[in-house]
Amino acid sequence: MDTQNVHSVRGIRGVRGDTAQVSFDVIKYALLVFCALVCVLPFVIIISGSFTDNSTILREGYSILPRNFTMNAYETIFKAPQDIIQAYKMTFYYTILGTALGLLMITLTAYVISRKEFKYRNTVSFLIYFTSIFGGGLVPWFLMYATVLGLKGSTVAIWFPALMSPFLVIIMRTFITGSVPEPITESAKIDGAGHVTIFARIILPVIGPGLATVGLFLALGYWNDWYRSSMFSTNSDTWELQFYLYNMLNATQALRQMSQNTSISTGDLPTQSVKLAMAVIATGPVLLFYPFVQKYFISGITVGSVKG
């Protein structure tokens, strides 16, 4: 009788445990779906607005589904596509070149400061970390590139300042330390391998997720940047895509304000739907690229978040 009671109690506890687990899973997935909708809905509204007639947006506001479907916004943008194509070309140039060089420099720096035999690794690590907390300020930063280095008006001034990031160096160093055990590199040194061989044949093959993570951060930083173009560009042919959009929107707002007190017609100015279409055009390549590196990005963030 006692044995039967024990089995009954265990069965009741098992049922309660299964019910609690199911309830937890339902709440967990419901929360994830809600967070996903909160993240996705703004972009869905942007896409919908880009295909909605401008007068409808002004009269009825934005919606999830397009109302009075039209392609006028995209037709307006590509009536004279030379400027936007040039902005796209320069943005791809800055992103590809800056990401490649930045990834190389960050990985090499992280490898050096991860080696215990490097005498000054703590000092260098402190200096890198120090710059992430304290900076020289905007004016000295601008004078350094524009006056001292003489890079104003050059495309180098747009991609060069973003090559190194203390945050990304720390992530890569932590990833190298966590992915490659010290005995492996020590064994390679005993067998006569130098640092170049260790880096190229031992470190690089196992830090793919870290490279994808840091590369994605760099690429997004270059793709979304507009500030350096505003500071150093003297020719519209060197503008980044984001600065092209920013400049267009500022010019539009200025002309609309002038039109309130003058007879200037605003019929040919970019409308709300055109602005939304430009946002879609600017973010489209990133959305197409991200799914291919997502799994490496998540893995790299997970490993990089562990203190090495």
Q: Does residue 306 register a pLDDT over 50?
A: no
What's the rounded mean pLDDT across residues 53-80? 80
pLDDT value of position 104 = 92
Q: Are 166 and 237 in contact (CB under 8 A)?
A: no
Provide the residue type at 201 as one letter. Answer: R
- The predicted-structure confidence for 102-117, as pLDDT tens digits, reads as follows 999 999 999 998 888 8
Burial class for 304, CB neighbours closer than 10 Å (0-12, 13-18, 19+): buried
Q: Does residue 125 register a pLDDT over 50?
A: yes
Q: Which residue has the tokens 């479907």?
A: 69
The proportion of the chain whose per-residue pLDDT surpasses 90, expressed as a percent, equals 9
What's the rounded mean pLDDT across residues 148-160? 89
Q: Are 274 and 84 in contact (CB under 8 A)?
A: no
Tell me how long the chain is. Answer: 308
Q: Does residue 196 register a pLDDT over 70?
A: yes
* Top-confidence residue, 295 or 153: 153
52 DSSP β-pair partners: 69
pLDDT value of position 263 = 56
Per-residue HEC secondary structure of the chain comes to CHHHHHHHHHHHHHHHHHHHHHHHHHHHHHHHHHHHHHHHHHHHHHHHHHCECHHHHHHHCCCCCCCCECCHHHHHHCCCCHHHHHHHHHHHHHHHHHHHHHHHHHHHHHHHHHCCCCCCHHHHHHHHHHHHHCCCCHHHHHHHHHHHCCCCCCCHHHHHHHCCCHHHHHHHHHHHHHHCCHHHHHHHHHCCCCHHHHHHHHHHHHCHHHHHHHHHHHHHHHHHCCHHHHHHCCCHHHCCHHHHHHHHHHHHHHHHHHHCCCCCCCCCCCCHHHHHHHHHHHHHHHHHHHHHHHHHHHHHHHHHCCCC
pLDDT value of position 295 = 64
pLDDT value of position 308 = 42
Q: How confident is the model at residue 10 (pLDDT cuts 50, 70, 90)?
A: low
pLDDT value of position 6 = 45
What's the rounded mean pLDDT across residues 231-244? 87
Which of 152-161, 209-218, 296-305 is predicted with the least confidence, judged by mean pLDDT?
296-305
Q: How confident is the model at residue 307 (pLDDT cuts 50, 70, 90)?
A: very low
Provide the residue type at 40 as one letter. Answer: V
Q: How confident is the model at residue 9 (pLDDT cuts 50, 70, 90)?
A: very low
Q: Are 45 and 61 in contact (CB under 8 A)?
A: no
